Amino acid sequence: MRNSIAIKRSCLWGLLGCFYLLGCSKENKQELLVAVAASNFPVMQEIARQYPHKITLVQGASGQLYTQIQQGAPYDVYLPAAESYAERLAQERKSRSTPVRLSTNRLTGWSTSPALWSALIEGDTTKLQGVSIAMANPRTAPFGELAVAYLKAKGCYHFLEKQLVYGQSIAQVNHYIKSRQVTVAFSSQSSVPQLGSEALYTHSCENHFSISQAVLPLNDKIQTKDFVTFLQSSVAQNIFREYGFEVVN
């Protein structure tokens, strides 16, 4: 069954590549296809608007995009939420390209009341009974992994494990927050500007609960190299800062 699913997915991404390439006219054949982790998607939308050439962004969890690339999805650039995903992909593909570190992004909490967040950071599980806690799926999303590590550091992961609600990515967690489908959630600092009025209820986690992020070029196209260079420019760096990232100089 698993092999069957893998074959179907490979076919799906092969077809996507064909449609993408066939759909390009002579004028936009050089358009780049960029795989972007959900936590990076809002900032990349703004960067794409500032970039002088057209690019197409595909949003997803870092692990899901990773699998798609391994199955043949025709991406030109991979920008996961964690540098480790880019490093591992480069090693597995035996790529001549290496990941380029761009920034760090911090884990951010959200709760419907300050008292609930205080109970969580103090490890007071008695006040958290029955509380739904959302995070991205730790199997495919780095910020989900980091959220699990945070709960373990506070000594309450095993008590709260059955109360966890997993989103496919940070984007889905942010939807849970904005619609208040959960009571507590873990998102990213870069997501805060997208939360609207719910941003008032966010809580910054400690600095060491941050993730280094890097971009991986997936081919040797001049256009790919140009875009990766643009991501390191002062224009792009300022946009990263505006969205809560700490830029690596």
**What's the pLDDT at 206?**
92
pLDDT at site 203 = 94
Which residue spans within the chain are E strands per DSSP?
Answer: 32-37, 55-60, 77-79, 100-111, 133-136, 164-167, 184-188, 202-204, 210-217, 246-247
pLDDT tens-digit readout, 8-24: 443 444 445 444 444 44
Going by pLDDT thresholds of 50, 70 and 90, the confidence category of residue 29 is low
- Do β-strands 133-136 and 202-204 pair in parallel, antiparallel, or remain unpaired? unpaired
Contacts of 140 (CB under 8 A, 6+ apart): 61, 62, 63, 64, 168, 169
Structural domains of the chain in order of their starting residue, each with its CATH number: 2-104+212-247 (3.40.190.10), 106-204 (3.40.190.10)
* % pLDDT > 70, the chain: 88
Contact 57, 41 (CB under 8 A): yes
- 29-33, 196-200, 201-205: which range is least confident on average? 29-33
Residue with tokens 């980091």: 146
Q: How many CB atoms lie under 10 A from the CB of residue 209?
A: 18
Residue linked to tokens 């290496």: 98
pLDDT band at 1; cut points 50, 70, 90: very low
Residue 97: per-residue pLDDT: 86
Cβ neighbours for 9, distance < 8 A, ≥ 6 positions apart: 67, 68, 71
Query: Which pLDDT value is given to residue 193?
Result: 87
Answer whether 101's CB lies under 8 Å from 237's CB. Answer: no
Residue 95 has a pLDDT of 75
For residue range 92-141, list pLDDT tens digits in order: 987 778 999 999 999 999 999 999 999 999 999 999 999 999 999 999 99
The confidence band for 52, taking pLDDT boundaries of 50, 70 and 90, is very high
| pLDDT grade for 85, boundaries at 50, 70 and 90 | very high
pLDDT of 2 > 50? The answer is no
With 90 as the cut, is the pLDDT of residue 180 above it? yes
Q: pLDDT digit string (tens) for 202-233?
A: 999 998 999 999 999 999 999 999 999 999 99
